Amino acid sequence: MALARFLPKQRPRLLRRAEPVDRRRGLVERYVESVTGRTGGNTFLTKSLRKVFPSHFSFLWGELALYSFIVLLVTGTYLTLFYEGSQEMRTYTGSYEALQGQEVSAAFDSVMRISHDVKGGLLIRQMHHWSALLFMGAIALHMARVFFTGAFRRPRDMNWSVGLTLLVLSLAAGFTGYSLPDDLLSGTGLRITNGIILAIPFVGERLAYLIFGGEWPGTDIIGRLYPVHILLIPAAIVGLLAVHLGLVWRQKHTQFRGPGRTESNVVGERVWPSFAMKSIGLLFLTAGVLTAMGAIFEINPVWLYGPYDTAAATSLAQPDWYIGFLEGSVRLVPPWEIRVGGYVINTLVFSGILIPSIIFGGLYLAPTIERRLTGDVGDHHLLDRPRDAPNRTAIGAASITFVAILFLGGAQDVVARTVNLSVGHVTSVLQFGLILAPPIAFVIARWVCISLRDRLGPERTERRVPIERAADGGYHIPHDHIEDWMVAGGAAPGHFDDISPRESVRSGAATTDADGHDADDVAGDADDDGAGDGAGDGAGDADDDVDSENAVGR
């Protein structure tokens, strides 16, 4: 084909070692040199470019969140050039006919202007909103990956807390952003927030007056949320993001178990050029998908919701999806009311304060809880597959089930409409589900994990058949595991030289990785036995020499 002309004529010598330093230098090199020569950054730069990242597609989900955040910052900055954070009332005179002449707040007016009178403004606004939804989704996926692979364990328990704080900040960013247009939905959301704050024991009413500048609705709240949304929260997110990524940099990324992978090394590709090119590619792909969403699909049509009016109401009044669990909690918790003396603990204290506190408290405490339950205080750099830790996976599945039912509860009217049932029935089913489904999910997830883990086969024997290295340098399977090895399709027992090499590579190295001993050798740390709850049966006395030899030394 004609394209062939453009193909390289010969097989490229793709990469070469650095040329001698005295050759003619390019512009980029001179620029880099001029900076690093003044900062001593040369070593850092080289080390950074050579940093190794293990490659697995699930490791890219955190980047998805990072890149949607970048899109949020860029589009958000554009929006601030037009948005007015004020509740001052004025008459709408823009080009959207069905609202002309309405008394609207300056905030709503400016959002209408962005949507209908600023060329390209609607595109940017919709991109911003879609990015927010994607941002939270990517965070959720990333967090699930970190949890189910055990990446939140020491030494990354600290970064787990940082990440969770980022999640909380992101939720706050999302909620404040949802509130800024001052349309019917956002006003309703703020109204509910006001109600929840009012319900807080002792200080609720005073606190609500402080935040809203007096009795609901006041005239201050939009103007106050604006700097919070565009300055305080983003600055906090950027700062914590630096800590989050800095810790990943410093602690190096976790990796899945595999041949040659140990607690003491990282196996993967270097930042430059391979990882960086792909990662920057992902940035542009993310931005591309979000732009396409903003261009093609309508989101948050504030002109249909209209300006906020405290007496107006609309059905299908939901928050953006990531607040859905809170909405569900508020919808599903029964009308409990506890009287203490002359005071009331209102249902909103349970649904709006207690349940979210339990959810986030559990998340913050996850590393501690796991440490308590397993007694495992060692460092971990190798990841578990979810099946390797059935109890952890089961707890995770139960928690996700709980939150998922809350999500359904937050959309119970949509669910009722979809399945054509009465809202009351759907609510009752979900209320029971909230209590019954998590234990069921726990049992099922645990059973699935154990079944998967125990399934035998040549490809699935990693945790079953350890290999020892003898004093003479040969390898053999420990006596009490020979049967496992045979069952798994292994050849006759004996030294490794007698066993088919293919088998030995897979099961040998992987077994070594499968138990927790490497960490001891690496970190000189105390007891690391029983790493995770599932690692216990990966007995065997492997040592990290086996792993080292997978890597070709100098």
Partner 1 sequence: MLGLPIAAAGLFTAVALLSPSAPGASAAPATPPEQEVEQGSEQAGVDEPVDGRRLFETQCSSCHGLDARGVDDRGPTLEPEGGASTDFVLRTGRMPLAAPGIQARRGPVRYDEAEIVALVEYVASIGSGPDVPEVDIAGADVSNGGELYRLNCAACHVSSGAGAPIGGGRSAPNLQLATSTEIAEAILVGPGSMPVFGEFDDDEIADVAAYIEVALQDAETTSASRFGGAGPVAEGLAAWILALLPLVALTRWIGQAKDGRDHPLEPDGDVDDDAQLDDLAHPIDDDEEEMAPS
Partner 2 sequence: MSGSETSGTGADGPRASDTGGFARSGHDRVVSDDAATSEWVAVPHEEMNLRAYRAATVAFVVAVAGGLLAAAAYWTSETQTLLGVGLALALGGIGFGLVSWAKYLDLDEHVVQQREPLRPTAAERDELTGQVEMTQQTVGRRKLLVGLLGGSFASLAIGFVGPIGSLGPRPRGERDRTGWVAGRRLVTLDGQPVALSSGVFDQLATVFPDGMIGRDDSQVVLLRLREELLSASTIEQGALDGWVAYSKICTHAGCSVGLFGVDDREPDVVRQLVCPCHQSVFDPTDGARPVGGPAPRSLPQLSLGVDDEGFLVANGDFDRPVGPITWDEG
Site for partner 2 in 258-277 (CB under 8 A): 259-260, 263-270, 273-274, 277
Per CB under 8 A, 336 contacts partner 2: yes
Three-class DSSP labels, 525-537: CCCCCCCCCCHHH
Binding partner at 390 among partner 1, partner 2, none, C-beta below 5 to 8 Å by kind:
none
Closest approach of partner 1 to the CB of residue 424, in Å = 7
Pairing of strands 468-469, 255-256: unpaired
Per CB under 8 A, 87 contacts partner 2: no
C-beta of residue 305 within 8 angstroms of C-beta of residue 184: yes
What does the buried/exposed string (b/e) look like for 72-81 if buried means 16 or more CB atoms within 10 Å of the residue's CB?
Answer: beebbebbee
Nearest to partner 2 of 75, 399 (CB atom): 75
The whole-angstrom separation of Cα 535 and Cα 194 is 48
Instruction: Note if the bond before 386 is cis, omega within 30 degrees.
Output: no
The label of the residue with tokens 């009016």 reads 309
Per CB under 8 A, 301 contacts partner 2: no
Per CB under 8 A, 23 contacts partner 2: no
The DSSP string of 78-130 is: HHHTT------EEE--SS-GGGTT-EEEHHHHHHHHHHHTSTTHHHHHHHHHH
Closest approach of partner 2 to the CB of residue 296, in Å = 7
Binding partner at 333 among partner 2, partner 1, none, C-beta below 5 to 8 Å by kind:
partner 2
| Residues 108-147 contacting partner 2, CB under 8 A | 119-120, 122-123, 127
Nearest to partner 1 of 34, 310 (CB atom): 310
Binding partner at 475 among partner 1, partner 2, none, C-beta below 5 to 8 Å by kind:
partner 2
How many CA atoms, within 13 angstroms, populate the side-chain half-sphere of residue 409?
Answer: 27
Per CB under 8 A, 199 contacts partner 2: yes
Closest approach of partner 1 to the CB of residue 299, in Å = 5
Nearest to partner 1 of 316, 471 (CB atom): 316
The whole-angstrom separation of Cα 182 and Cα 91 is 15
Closest approach of partner 2 to the CB of residue 325, in Å = 14
Closest approach of partner 2 to the CB of residue 356, in Å = 14
The Cα-based distances of 50 to 4, 47, 55, 56, 244 in angstroms read: 34, 5, 15, 18, 20
Closest approach of partner 2 to the CB of residue 205, in Å = 5
Binding partner at 414 among partner 2, partner 1, none, C-beta below 5 to 8 Å by kind:
partner 1
Per CB under 8 A, 493 contacts partner 2: no
How many CA atoms, within 13 angstroms, populate the side-chain half-sphere of residue 317?
Answer: 17
Binding partner at 98 among partner 2, partner 1, none, C-beta below 5 to 8 Å by kind:
partner 1
Binding partner at 215 among partner 2, partner 1, none, C-beta below 5 to 8 Å by kind:
partner 2
C-beta of residue 315 within 8 angstroms of C-beta of residue 414: no
- Identify the bridge partners of residue 103 per DSSP, sorted by sequence position: 91
Closest approach of partner 1 to the CB of residue 64, in Å = 6
C-beta of residue 353 within 8 angstroms of C-beta of residue 199: yes
Closest approach of partner 2 to the CB of residue 164, in Å = 21
Per CB under 8 A, 525 contacts partner 2: yes
Q: Interface mask (CB under 8 A) for partner 2, residues 173-192, using x and -?
A: ---------------x--xx
The whole-angstrom separation of Cα 226 and Cα 76 is 12
| Residues 366-405 contacting partner 2, CB under 8 A | 379, 381
Can you say whether the dihedral through the CA atoms of 152, 157, 161, 162 is positive or negative? negative
Per CB under 8 A, 412 contacts partner 2: yes
Nearest to partner 2 of 211, 452 (CB atom): 211
Of 225-233, 400-408, 449-457, 470-478: span binding partner 2 (CB under 8 A): 470-478
> What's the CA angle centered on 470, arms 469 and 473, to 5 degrees?
80
Binding partner at 347 among partner 2, partner 1, none, C-beta below 5 to 8 Å by kind:
partner 2
First to last CA, the chain: 45
The whole-angstrom separation of Cα 111 and Cα 308 is 13
Of 29-37, 73-81, 90-98, 304-312: span binding partner 2 (CB under 8 A): 304-312
- Residue 94 sits at φ, ψ, to 5 deg, of -75, -170
Per CB under 8 A, 63 contacts partner 2: no
Per CB under 8 A, 315 contacts partner 2: yes
> 3-class DSSP state for residue 139?
helix
